[in-house]
Structure 1
Amino acid sequence: MTIEGLLKQIGLRNFNQLYCDLSPAALYEQAIRRHEALLSYSGSLVFHTGQYKGRSPEDKFIVKDKMTENLVDWGKINKPFDPLAFRHLKEKLLFYLQNRDLFLQRCHVCADPQHRLNLWIITEQPVYSLFARTLFRVEKEREKRDPLLADFILIHAPGFRADPEIDQTHSGAFIILNFSEKLILIGGTGYAGEIKKSVFTLLNFLLPQKGVFPMHCSANLGNSNEDSAIFFGLSGTGKTTLSIDPTRRLIGDDEHGWDDKGIFNFEGGCYAKIIGISKEGEPEIYNSALRFGSLLENVIIDPQTREINFFDDSLTENTRAAFPIDYIPNASLTQTGGHPKNIVMLCCDAFGLLPAVAKLSTEQAISYFLLGYTSKIAGTEAGIKEPQAVFSPCFGSPFLPLSPKVYAQMFKEKIESHKPTVWLVNTGWVGGEYGIGKRIALSITRRLVQSILNGELAKSEFVQEKHFNLFIPQSFKDIPHEILYPSKSWKDERRYTTKAKELKELFNHYAQTLT
């Protein structure tokens, strides 16, 4: 059956021109010709996403039917959508796409062939076809693509807006996953991250049923397959920055699976936050972002010189670069690794209370995994005047269709079976909370992480501090004492004790909500 015939089976008919598996160069031409993007001075492609410049959690739904009703953890994150309403909205979307050009990329996810999932990404705009081709995995030879049918299809129409009163959506934008029909619909939003994260949500539903532990983490590899490491962390904690290390091979920057053989990347590209990025601070990401084939999302570009301003946040602080992972000089060719030797849980503690590094017991590792703690600082969102604790169970709750307990149990089984060393690394403040103390220097965090990965830190003597019961190094080389012992860096140690008690109570209270 032809591709057009297969599209007609799902209701896509009477479209104008179908562009299938276009190369990056051809997609550049289409995007520029349609005035969707600008070519930068260095060869990257710059596009703006309109009203939506980040994910829209209120607009995301999962169809509730026999397949999902007893599996999905329904609530504020996983909101149910009626199957009949889905059918009506799909019909309206398909009608909207008639007489329009369509762009199809036949991709797949999961570097381990055993878990491969074939995706067809169909969109009305070439810039998003390039995004899909960049972020996901693509067979280079056409003869390998042609026989492959889609395991799942994603239809993307940012120009189509729903009517909430009629269509049962929250707004004109929608992201709806239908596991029974193997179909994802995205409309009304131009933020490219919705494509990436809807596929991640899909994998977080399917893979646990195959015994594969899906993770929102970055990963890298040392000199042997057995020397792999994973980095859990929410946005702003340094997950991508710290995993890209010139002495190690990058497996992936954001999404991975862990099965009985080891770990593997889901994707084939990187989607890095780039506000304020510099060649000196993060050369690998900076250089990759400027190359031909890279997409720069909501970055400010001079319309005359086509120079990029990575420091301009007038559109959003959430500026992004999407580029193939092999743009990173030392990226792993297979994007797989053995069972992790070290696991690093990153947080950015703006309260200035947690140590820069601590070794976690199995019980503590599971607790911190379930908490998924970091903090927001003043100025990052409207209305935030002082640091706020943020909890995202399993470091990825917006993308987890199942109960956090399911993923926590899988994590527990993995660390009990393979016995990695688990670490907590704080990339936040010391000497007081945000506004009083200072942020731990990236150079110090890098040295601590490198000492974790090369085994030096594990040889230290550890003592258990009394506030969070964490095991911290008694001393380590020339790392300042106050970095390791944050209570010593506060001018008023009694105030530190009071604030630490408050944060510990927050941890305990949130943990109780998960039981």
Structure 2
Amino acid sequence: MSAINQMSDLNLLLAQEHVHHQLSVPQLVEHILERHEGALTDKGAIQATTGAYTGRSPKDKFIVKDDVSANKVDWGKVNQPIDEDTFTTLYHKVLDYLKDRDALFSFKGFAGADEKFRLPIRVINEFAWHNLFARQMFIRPSEDEVDGLDPEFTVVSAPTFKAEPEVDGTNSEAFIMVSFKHRIVLIGGTEYAGEIKKSIFSVMNFMLPQKNVLPMHCSANVGKEGDVALFFGLSGTGKTTLSADPHRRLIGDDEHAWSNYGIFNIEGGCYAKCINLSEENEPQIFNAIHFGSVLENVVLKPNSHVPDFEDTSLTENTRAAYPIDHIDNIIRPSIAGHPNAIIFLTADATGVLPPISKLSKEQAMYHFLSGYTSKLAGTERGITEPQATFSACFGSPFLPLAPSTYAEMLGDKIDQFDADVYLVNTGWTGGPYGEGSRMKLSYTRSMIQAALEGELTSVETYTDPFFGLSIPTHCPGVPDDVLIPKRTWDDPERYDEQAKDLANKFHENFKTFVYASDKIKQAGPAYNRH
């Protein structure tokens, strides 16, 4: 089936009377309530649940292997290939299925705040609440832009369509398939809305490097003096929380790109974790959740419709999706200059990495390629407690190209624009998960503030014997002993054992990066270095 015929079938679907185009937030909310897809909270947000799939399903994600992708995509466990005929057959089955639904919802918008590099997209949803999610997460066009907006990529989402693995070539009833040739994302069998936004991020990770633009899984903000900070890290490491700083303007919370002109947000909204959310600890996020927002898998208190952010009975991966405009302290449009500081965030469950350390360029490249963190409960199916993981470029699940492509681009930009790089551990201190405690958010904020304001450049440093990291011995607002992780442990010998074990895991993981220079390899943990 040719691309022209596929698009023709899509246009036929979009022309049907049961398809609602470009609905406003109030209109979508009306449909959601009428269709019993969700409930209203006390502040007017939509609350919806996602059934069995409460996180991403990486084993169900595929890229169509064809003449466009075959020689570019880094094929493997992350980027699983599926042939074009299998995709095309399933695509038409999904379209036929959607033709018989009682209603569909279509949104046109953009990915990419910089008009020079933005991607016009369309999202077609079976659920009205998914369409509200897409409307709030992507960049909303002005009224003048809508009519002339010709989508270059289309997401088709049919969560109630269940695949038959033995017939449809999938691994389960769920599937997320990307065809770069036909410029279509096909999603089915999962109601988790995050698949919609992450699929477009994967698309941008494929397309932008071809324009000499570096896509990044990071949040970003800008200070009063115009200084820009990037925050890299996987879900649960604190990107959203730490970038939502009342003293700095937010550029975006999850996906950005770095061109020769500076930084721009890929999205038009925020997708914040809600577990234990409180107005006291995270006022910007808490106050952003009102009419137009979507609460995903957040349980409501009985007879009140008040969200219970401490209730994790559905999942620990509770989420809030809201347009960036719900935060007062933002920069409009979501574009800024080149970054002055780059923060690598990790939630280390072993409790041995320092809460903050300054990285050399080689160390920055090593830790960017390593992308170490502890995968937190709920961010993927089957994860119930933290697990040590390495995710290249702090976003391996979303990288269609080889990690070296992005790492080399980042290294060049660090050199070109002289950015300072820090590794910040938002994980455990005083012992591993289950024994120690999570690093206090107030301490982390103080350390990042000191780094961004240049207060750590002249402070005496201590070189960690296991990881070779330069640790500041003093930071305003943080007890000195907290800065040196070994001092927080009751049993120093156990700390040494854990540190050696983690260092070995770094070395073992880095064996896959055979192309890395000797300087980068030697910038890893000092213990047991080969």
Q: Counterpart amino acid of 1:132?
A: A
Larger deviation, residues 235-244 vs 425-434: 425-434
Rounded to whole Å, the distance in 2 between the matches of 1:89 and 1:46 is 31
Rounded to whole Å, the distance in 2 between the matches of 1:432 and 1:363 is 29
Rounded to whole Å, the distance in 1 between the matches of 2:360 and 2:455 is 18
Q: Helix, strand or coil: the match of 2:511?
A: helix
Q: Which residue of the partner structure matches residue 284 of structure 1?
A: 284
Rounded to whole Å, the distance in 1 between the matches of 2:107 and 2:125 is 9
Larger deviation, residues 178-187 vs 381-390: 381-390
Rounded to whole Å, the distance in 2 between the matches of 1:156 and 1:96 is 11
Q: Which residue of the partner structure matches residue 267 of structure 1?
A: 267
Which residue of 110, 119, 144 maps to 2:121?
119
Rounded to whole Å, the distance in 1 between the matches of 2:443 and 2:398 is 32
Q: Deviation at 1:456? A: 1.3
Tell me if 1:421 matches 2:420. yes
Q: Which residue of the partner structure matches residue 390 of structure 2?
A: 391
Q: Which residue of the partner structure matches residue 159 of structure 2?
A: 158
Q: Helix, strand or coil: the match of 1:87?
A: helix
Tell me if 1:187 matches 2:188. yes
Identity %: 51
Q: Counterpart amino acid of 1:202?
A: V
Q: Deviation at 1:453? A: 1.2
- Output one character per residue of 1:284-316: Cα deviation in whole Å (capped at 9) or x when no partner: 111112x10001111112463222211111111
- Output one character per residue of 1:402-445: Cα deviation in whole Å (capped at 9) or x when no partner: 11111111111111111111001111222222233232211111
Q: Counterpart amino acid of 2:369?
A: L
Q: Which residue of the partner structure matches residue 169 of structure 1?
A: 170
Q: Which residue of the partner structure matches residue 39 of structure 1?
A: 40
Q: Which residue of the partner structure matches residue 437 of structure 2?
A: 438
Q: Deviation at 1:115? A: 0.4
- Output one character per residue of 1:100-132: Cα deviation in whole Å (capped at 9) or x when no partner: 322110111101100011001111221111111
Rounded to whole Å, the distance in 2 between the matches of 1:15 and 1:378 is 42
Q: Deviation at 1:387? A: 5.9
Q: Counterpart amino acid of 2:238?
A: G
Q: Which residue of the partner structure matches residue 17 of structure 1?
A: 18
Q: Helix, strand or coil: the match of 1:113?
A: coil
1:172-251 equivalence runs, <5 A: 172-225=173-226, 227-251=227-251
Q: Deviation at 1:473? A: 1.2
Q: Deviation at 1:99? A: 3.5
Pair 1:502–1:194, CA change in 2 (3 A): same
Q: Which residue of the partner structure matches residue 301 of structure 1?
A: 300
Q: Helix, strand or coil: the match of 1:223?
A: coil
Q: Counterpart amino acid of 2:29?
A: Y
Q: Deviation at 1:11? A: 5.3
1:397-476 equivalence runs, <5 A: 397-476=396-475
Pair 1:493–1:380, CA change in 2 (3 A): farther
The answer (yes or no) to whether the contact 1:16–1:98 under 8 Å persists in 2 is no
Q: Deviation at 1:274? A: 0.2
- Output one character per residue of 1:194-248: Cα deviation in whole Å (capped at 9) or x when no partner: 00000000000000111110100000001233x0000011122111111111110
Rounded to whole Å, the distance in 2 between the matches of 1:236 and 1:310 is 15
Gaps of 5+ in 1: none
Q: Helix, strand or coil: the match of 2:70?
A: coil
Pair 1:382–1:72, CA change in 2 (3 A): closer
Q: Which residue of the partner structure matches residue 480 of structure 1?
A: 479
Q: Deviation at 1:134? A: 0.2
Q: Counterpart amino acid of 1:434?
A: Y
Rounded to whole Å, the distance in 1 between the matches of 2:172 and 2:217 is 28
Q: Counterpart amino acid of 1:104?
A: S
Pair 1:452–1:7, CA change in 2 (3 A): farther
Alpha-carbon RMSD across the aligned residues, in angstroms, is 2.0
Pair 1:84–1:342, CA change in 2 (3 A): same
Q: Deviation at 1:165? A: 0.9
Q: Which residue of the partner structure matches residue 256 of structure 1?
A: 256
Rounded to whole Å, the distance in 2 between the matches of 1:218 and 1:466 is 31
Q: Deviation at 1:278? A: 0.8
Q: Which residue of the partner structure matches residue 326 of structure 2?
A: 327
Q: Counterpart amino acid of 2:79?
A: N
Q: Which residue of the partner structure matches residue 512 of structure 1?
A: 511
Q: What TM-score comes out, normalization by structure 1 length?
A: 0.95
Pair 1:223–1:380, CA change in 2 (3 A): closer
Rounded to whole Å, the distance in 2 between the matches of 1:385 and 1:232 is 23
Q: Which residue of the partner structure matches residue 136 of structure 1?
A: 138
Pair 1:386–1:106, CA change in 2 (3 A): closer
Q: Helix, strand or coil: the match of 1:497?
A: helix
Rounded to whole Å, the distance in 2 between the matches of 1:459 and 1:282 is 31
Gaps of 5+ in 2: 1-5, 515-530
Rounded to whole Å, the distance in 1 between the matches of 2:229 and 2:88 is 43
Q: Helix, strand or coil: the match of 1:513?
A: coil
Pair 1:362–1:68, CA change in 2 (3 A): same
Rounded to whole Å, the distance in 2 between the matches of 1:430 and 1:214 is 32
Q: Counterpart amino acid of 1:261?
A: Y
The answer (yes or no) to whether the contact 1:253–1:270 under 8 Å persists in 2 is yes
Q: Counterpart amino acid of 2:237?
A: T
Q: Counterpart amino acid of 2:432?
A: E
Tell me if 1:145 matches 2:151. no
Q: Deviation at 1:346? A: 0.8
Rounded to whole Å, the distance in 1 between the matches of 2:375 and 2:58 is 18
Q: What TM-score comes out, normalization by structure 2 length?
A: 0.92
The answer (yes or no) to whether the contact 1:19–1:102 under 8 Å persists in 2 is yes
Pair 1:385–1:14, CA change in 2 (3 A): closer
Q: Helix, strand or coil: the match of 1:25?
A: helix
Q: Which residue of the partner structure matches residue 351 of structure 2?
A: 352
Q: Which residue of the partner structure matches residue 91 of structure 1?
A: 92
Rounded to whole Å, the distance in 1 between the matches of 2:158 and 2:400 is 23
